[in-house]
Structure 1
């Protein structure tokens, strides 16, 4: 089996919430894709309930694109402590933190049920498993804690 960077990270020493560049890879045509770890909850100490995580995923998928160019995908970790963010190019961690913070602030303060994209049976494979209330609470908590620019110490919060 190939090594997966996420499984080599010592989850006992990181300090969430943070944004961490996992890797930037160059394709055969020279295009660069970057993968970021958006860790919202301290690993092995808590997790975002699935309905809230699902709603955060849908809302952030749209809101992050309003603040950061080149977003390919944002997908939740199975452990429910955060997300992978895949983007074209090599944005700085500061740019990613700014985009994530802006999206979370919007979710915490402005987003209504009607604003959350992709929540019907036609648009979503599990449309009944959403909670804007939970997403708002988590978004507020993460913003209030501050998103660190460093996974191992609280920097730039």
Structure 2
């Protein structure tokens, strides 16, 4: 049976929020691709409502690209506890965490959800900027608390 990295993780032992490098892949031409687990909420204890998750997905798509070079994708986890970030090039977990904190701060001052319209979004009515900001604030507080 094929092993899936995220299925190998003991979700009962991790402590969210965190950033975890889950894979480093090297392409045939030497390209480096990294994948990160951007865990925002504690697995099996809470999850993001779809409207907040969807809004964060739109905001992360823009803001992570402003913060980090080589972003390929930022995708929500099916369990709704975080996101996967995939990028070209090498970074450290601390660098990605620092950029995540910057991204969450940008969420707090956002006034409009990018691409939240029927032309650019397949479910444009399912957004909540208010909820996205509330979760961003909560996650930032947890990061701040964990550093003290």
Equivalence for 1:28: 28
The answer to whether the 8 Å contact 1:75/1:85 transfers is yes
- Higher RCO structure, 1 or 2 (CA under 8 Å, sep 6+): 1
Structure 2: 5+ residue stretches without partners = none
Moved over 2 A (4+): none
d(CA) in 2 for partners of 1:3, 1:40: 24
The secondary structure found in structure 2 opposite 1:144 is helix
Q: 2:127 aligns with which of 127, 130, 137?
A: 130
How many residues are treated as equivalent by the alignment? 148
Deviation at 1:106, TM superposition (A): 1.1
d(CA) in 1 for partners of 2:142, 2:132: 15
Equivalence for 2:18: 18
Structure (1 or 2) with the greater helix fraction: 2
The answer to whether the 8 Å contact 1:16/1:147 transfers is no
d(CA) in 1 for partners of 2:42, 2:21: 17
Of residues 6-15 and 139-148 in structure 1, the stretch that sits farther from structure 2 once superposed is 139-148
The answer to whether the 8 Å contact 1:33/1:88 transfers is yes
Equivalence for 2:136: 139
Structure 1: 5+ residue stretches without partners = 149-153
Name the TM-score, length of structure 2 as normaliser. 0.96
The answer to whether the 8 Å contact 1:64/1:99 transfers is yes
The answer to whether the 8 Å contact 1:63/1:103 transfers is yes
The secondary structure found in structure 2 opposite 1:138 is helix
Name the TM-score, length of structure 1 as normaliser. 0.90
* RMSD of aligned alpha carbons: 1.5
The secondary structure found in structure 2 opposite 1:35 is strand
Deviation at 1:147, TM superposition (A): 7.3
d(CA) in 1 for partners of 2:141, 2:9: 25
Deviation at 1:118, TM superposition (A): 1.4
Equivalence for 1:117: 114
